[in-house]
Structure 1
Amino acid sequence: MSTSKLNIEGVMLFEQPFARVPYENYRKVFRASQRNVEKELGAVQSAANDLAKRSKARNNSTEDSIKAVDSMITRVENLKRKLSELQSSAGTPTLGVMRERLQHLAAVEDIPSVNEPEFTRWADTRLDRWLVDWALRTGKEKTARMIAEDRGIERLVDIDLFSDVCRIEEGLKRQSCSEALAWCSENKSSLRKLKEYIELARARKNEDAIAYSKKHLLPWQETHLAQIRQAAALLCFPPTTTCGPYKRLYDPARWTTLVQSFRLAVYNLSTLPTEPLLHLAVYAGLASLKLPACYDRHTKNTNCPVCDPNLGELAKEVPYSHHVNSTIVCRLSGKIMDADNMPMAFPNGYVYSKEALEEMALRDDGYVTCPRTGDRCLFSELRKVFIS
């Protein structure tokens, strides 16, 4: 099998979130439409049943009946308007994004080899998407927008999603849960609502804290009763308390934990990986190259990505490469030494590739110099080394 054949399954494995995010967005639009339909049509049906009962009992005037029918017509017209606005503002654009992304993925299925120019162009676009994803995750939204606009890939990246995430996180850093609570209501997520209650307790606004608890905490009593009880008891302890459990609740560092929990919830809801896609792709390459020698200053290779100080930091998070057979790499050229580029040994025992030494000999009238020791000799004095 040719090594240049495109591995479609491997490519698609990285692209699941790419197609999933707009799908989840459209599901949100569908659920909102469904709630509106159930609410408004339910009210219309109830009004119609009530009108029918009063008509049978003959205790309803013609004027009242007309008002009831007009009210039902108004509700249906309002429902139509809401659904139309929802579809035009979010539904149709989301469908367009889904269609464009699926077309982008479908294009790679018709490319037979990684050597085709079409795949190079497709891979360049994918790299641009990964760069935008990395910029968005690291708070560089302006850079992300510039790249997306310059490359014309606005519909292939999730700028709006991360823009909302940053907006809500900024609110949490200001110790305000308003944006996060709105997000919870919209997504029906399990994000807890305890933090703002604690801030009310810290300010000793006990009545406001109790009202807040009734509205936002009590609905979770079936799953978080112990935490709700502890929150209720918090009103008896001042912010200066030394009692361990309540001192921890008052700890301002909990806001940082909440920001992290919120972002993780967004990733889970949108089926996004917690690491940038660019990092995951780099990890895959580094894992195939990483060796213990990469972290020994005596055996580092200038042409090895893992030996690079910056990439080496990323490589620390991946396992070492598993090689069934050893691969010998020339220290001079960084190329693999094999039967076509066999190793050649200096009289002092140091070994380099034939190709690199031939180039050196051409530049120095047939002489070669060992870069480690400075020993100099004729190329004809080198010995061939056979790999077994």
Structure 2
Amino acid sequence: MNTYNPSGLLAIEQSFLRVPHEQLKKSYRQSQKHLEKDLGAISHAMDDLCQRATTKTMDSETAQPALDSMLKRLEDLKRKLQDTKTDEEEFIRRSKLRAQHLNALYEISSYESPEYQSWSRTRLCRFLVDYMLRKGYHESAAQLAKTEQIEAFTDLELFQQSAQIEKSLAAQSCAECLQWCSDNKVALRKIKSSLEFDLRLQEFIELARRGQTQSAIAYVRKHLVPWIDTHAKQVEQAMGLLAFNPKTSCEPYKRLFNPERWQSLVQHFREANYALHALPEPAPLHLTLQTGLSAFKTHQCNHQADTNINCPVCQKETLGKLAQTLPFSHHVNSTLVCRVTGEIMNEDNPPMRLPNGRVYSLKALQELASEHKGKVVCPMTSQEFSMADAKKMYIL
């Protein structure tokens, strides 16, 4: 077996640690936002109250409601900060547990140790939960995470929130997604995402579709004009929608009126959400499967009439689909694998050639002969031969 290499195993685990880290930063920014907004308002109200008291333009009866209002706002601020503190503590806990899980690799001595088998099973379950969450199977993912006791290693809440926003977009509503954009405005600006503009453009398109011309013009002035420096062409095209029927066949207005734009918005939001939380695309499960498949893929896998039943790349309807875009593996020394037994052919189990040109291992031919009363039936062509017809091959 290959030399134990824990660093290589961690090559695709960056997002595993970054997701709770990004969530922690977001929670911290929300706390700062609440503090600046509410304390600023309270400070301004207090200065105004003191000024009016100094000039004797306010009596105690008038001041009492103002003080009560400030006190209520402070209580609301305290509640908000307590909620964010709870979230921050949970993200810190997850980060520690995930770091300990990855660090455990360096305490394992080999791939054959029971500790590695246990660690590998946990990682497989993590990848399965992540894959199910991406596909929308939230209940199954939650049940698997609970059964394997890996809730801290999964991001159930993040995907559930994302699913709710995607559902609202599929129902042709931009409200929830726009609120999400507002909450992540700074982060979206850093990654240069145009998601908010596309959402605003879609809301304008729906106003134009319903023939609400005046409302559409007012909407452009309020929400699209601020984007004119970077999206001038799109805004100009959008304004042209006011002169066309939603059933027009004229491009680009036909494309803008196309209801399939909503599905594009779902995909756009998903990509922005993954980028903000450092979630890899494709899923880690796909990446690990493709890594393994790349070691199996050879030029022989392209021959439809001569596929190996034991080769995962040759299974065109399953794993073969993942291997379609992968490069062919590079083998310095060829290894012959029997298509019947799946075992390597060597000096103890040499390759044997049948008269029809098919090659199988000696062990495979012996098994086939025992099943057919001494006759070897070729699995590929169903032709019958005797063991004496098989010739030992020597590969140079």
* TM-score normalised by the chain length of structure 1: 0.85
What's the RMSD between the two structures over aligned residues?
Answer: 3.1
- Per-residue CA deviation, residues 185-224 of structure 1 (Å, 9 max, x unaligned), is 1111331321122111111122332343344323323322
Task: Establish whether residue 280 from structure 1 lines up as the match of residue 282 from structure 2.
Answer: no
SS of residue matched to 1:288: helix
Query: What is the match of residue 121 of structure 1?
Result: 118
Q: Which residue of the other structure, out of 335, 341, 345, is the alignment partner of 1:337?
A: 345
Rate the CA distance shift 1:50–1:327 in 2: closer, same or farther, 3 A.
same
Query: What is the match of residue 247 of structure 1?
Result: 254
CA distance in 1, matches of 2:116, 2:169: 43
CA distance in 2, matches of 1:208, 1:60: 48
CA distance in 2, matches of 1:377, 1:94: 66
SS of residue matched to 2:331: coil
Following superposition, the deviation at residue 118 of structure 1 comes to 1.0
SS of residue matched to 2:387: strand
Q: Which residue of the other structure, out of 52, 67, 87, is the alignment partner of 2:85?
A: 87
- Per-residue CA deviation, residues 23-60 of structure 1 (Å, 9 max, x unaligned), is 111111011111122223434555677788889xx646
SS of residue matched to 2:305: coil
Following superposition, the deviation at residue 292 of structure 1 comes to 2.5
SS of residue matched to 1:24: helix
Asked if structure 1 preserves the Cα contact closer than 8 Å seen for 2:369 and 2:387, the reply is no
SS of residue matched to 2:338: coil
CA distance in 2, matches of 1:197, 1:104: 48
Asked if structure 1 preserves the Cα contact closer than 8 Å seen for 2:368 and 2:377, the reply is no
CA distance in 1, matches of 2:177, 2:357: 67
CA distance in 2, matches of 1:150, 1:375: 53
Structure 2 unaligned regions, length at least 5:
none
- Per-residue CA deviation, residues 320-370 of structure 1 (Å, 9 max, x unaligned), is 2222232222233222223443334457765432444455677889x5736
Task: Establish whether residue 42 from structure 1 lines up as the match of residue 40 from structure 2.
Answer: yes
| 1:192-207 aligned within 5 A | 192=198, 193-207=200-214
CA distance in 1, matches of 2:303, 2:9: 34
Paired AA for residue 27 in structure 2: V
Structure 1 unaligned regions, length at least 5:
none
Rate the CA distance shift 1:19–1:130 in 2: closer, same or farther, 3 A.
same
CA distance in 2, matches of 1:348, 1:134: 45
CA distance in 1, matches of 2:38, 2:114: 55
Asked if structure 1 preserves the Cα contact closer than 8 Å seen for 2:375 and 2:384, the reply is no
| 1:143-222 aligned within 5 A | 143-188=140-185, 189=188, 190=193, 191=195, 192=198, 193-222=200-229
| 1:1-40 aligned within 5 A | 3-5=2-4, 7-40=5-38
Percent identity, aligned pairs only, is: 44
Query: What is the match of residue 270 of structure 2?
Result: 263
SS of residue matched to 1:298: helix
Query: What is the match of residue 229 of structure 1?
Result: 236
SS of residue matched to 1:375: strand
Rate the CA distance shift 1:364–1:173 in 2: closer, same or farther, 3 A.
closer
Asked if structure 2 preserves the Cα contact closer than 8 Å seen for 1:342 and 1:384, the reply is yes
Asked if structure 2 preserves the Cα contact closer than 8 Å seen for 1:342 and 1:354, the reply is yes
CA distance in 1, matches of 2:365, 2:247: 74
CA distance in 1, matches of 2:148, 2:323: 29
CA distance in 1, matches of 2:58, 2:319: 81
Task: Establish whether residue 377 from structure 1 lines up as the match of residue 387 from structure 2.
Answer: yes
Paired AA for residue 346 in structure 2: D
CA distance in 1, matches of 2:260, 2:348: 61
- Per-residue CA deviation, residues 139-189 of structure 1 (Å, 9 max, x unaligned), is 222222222222222221122222122211111111111111111111113
Query: What is the match of residue 328 of structure 2?
Result: 320
CA distance in 2, matches of 1:246, 1:359: 68
Paired AA for residue 111 in structure 1: I
SS of residue matched to 1:14: coil
Paired AA for residue 263 in structure 1: R
CA distance in 2, matches of 1:225, 1:350: 66
SS of residue matched to 1:13: coil
Paired AA for residue 243 in structure 1: C
The number of equivalent residue pairs is 380
CA distance in 2, matches of 1:350, 1:160: 55
CA distance in 2, matches of 1:346, 1:202: 71
Paired AA for residue 78 in structure 2: K
SS of residue matched to 1:369: strand
Asked if structure 2 preserves the Cα contact closer than 8 Å seen for 1:301 and 1:334, the reply is no
Asked if structure 1 preserves the Cα contact closer than 8 Å seen for 2:52 and 2:58, the reply is no
Paired AA for residue 120 in structure 1: Q
Task: Establish whether residue 104 from structure 1 lines up as the match of residue 101 from structure 2.
Answer: yes
Asked if structure 1 preserves the Cα contact closer than 8 Å seen for 2:127 and 2:285, the reply is yes
Rate the CA distance shift 1:272–1:338 in 2: closer, same or farther, 3 A.
same
CA distance in 2, matches of 1:148, 1:266: 22
